[in-house]
């Protein structure tokens, strides 16, 4: 898959009409890896009328273990 001619990009679809694009700017959560058995989960919140996304542990995470979530 390519986006703007790049092969590496960091996007998260929140709804069909709302996608977060952290390809060029964002926080460290954009580097979470995919796993079918993830140790993190994403939660969507409404704060002052704006959608916010938080990353939370889905289980105990060992020191040095990569943070993962299910991209699907």
Comparing CA positions, the residue from 56, 57, 43 lying closest to residue 12 is 43
- Return the higher-pLDDT residue of 49 and 7: 49
Q: For residue range 10-65, what is the model confidence (pLDDT) as tens digits?
A: 676 767 777 767 666 667 777 788 899 999 998 888 899 988 888 999 999 999 99
DSSP letter for 62, please: -
DSSP letter for 65, please: P
E-assigned strand segments in 1-72: 11-15, 18-21, 33-34, 40-47, 50-57, 68-69
């Amino acid at each position: 898959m390519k986006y703007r001619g790049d092969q590496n990009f960091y996007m998260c679809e929140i709804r069909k009409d709302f996608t977060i694009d952290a390809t060029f700017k964002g926080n460290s959560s954009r580097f979470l890896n995919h796993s079918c058995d993830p140790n993190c989960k994403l939660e969507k919140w409404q704060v002052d009328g704006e959608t916010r996304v938080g990353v939370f542990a889905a289980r105990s995470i060992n020191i040095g273990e990569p943070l993962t979530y299910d991209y699907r």
